Amino acid sequence: DQQVKQNSPSLSVQEGRISILNCDYTNSMFDYFLWYKKYPAEGPTFLISISSIKDKNEDGRFTVFLNKSAKHLSLHIVPSQPGDSAVYFCAASRYNTDKLIFGTGTRLQVFP
């Protein structure tokens, strides 16, 4: 049972444009969400997070939006840069538990 899903396995965006990565979840008990960037054969690198009491969090070029009613979150990267090319994972956790449940990942390619 995949509780966190990223339905787009890949995304290709031109440099300078906006990248939008989407994530859906099924468990309404999740209340904390994170986005990670990952290169092959490396551990994930934390990008940005959001708690369920907010609907938006921004950090530089990265903005995460949370729509609790739709159980959907998205990561916006603007402007996209070639160095952003990687696999992006969303992850979710429940209140009072430390466990992170990861989505299936989206491979982002930013081309010049």
Interface with other proteins (CB under 8 A):
2, 4, 34, 36, 41-46, 89, 98-105
Q: How far is CA 6 from CA 53, 61, 79, in A?
A: 22, 21, 22
CB of 40 to other proteins, least distance (A): 9
Q: Which is nearer to other proteins, 78 or 100 (CB)?
A: 100
- Asked if residue 79 has a cis previous peptide bond (ω within 30° of 0), the answer is yes
CB of 41 to other proteins, least distance (A): 6
The per-residue DSSP string of 6-41 comes to ---SEEEEETTS-EEEEEEE--TTEEEEEEEEE-TT
Q: Which is nearer to other proteins, 34 or 77 (CB)?
A: 34
Q: Which is nearer to other proteins, 38 or 68 (CB)?
A: 38
Tokens 């300078």 correspond to 16
CB of 20 to other proteins, least distance (A): 20
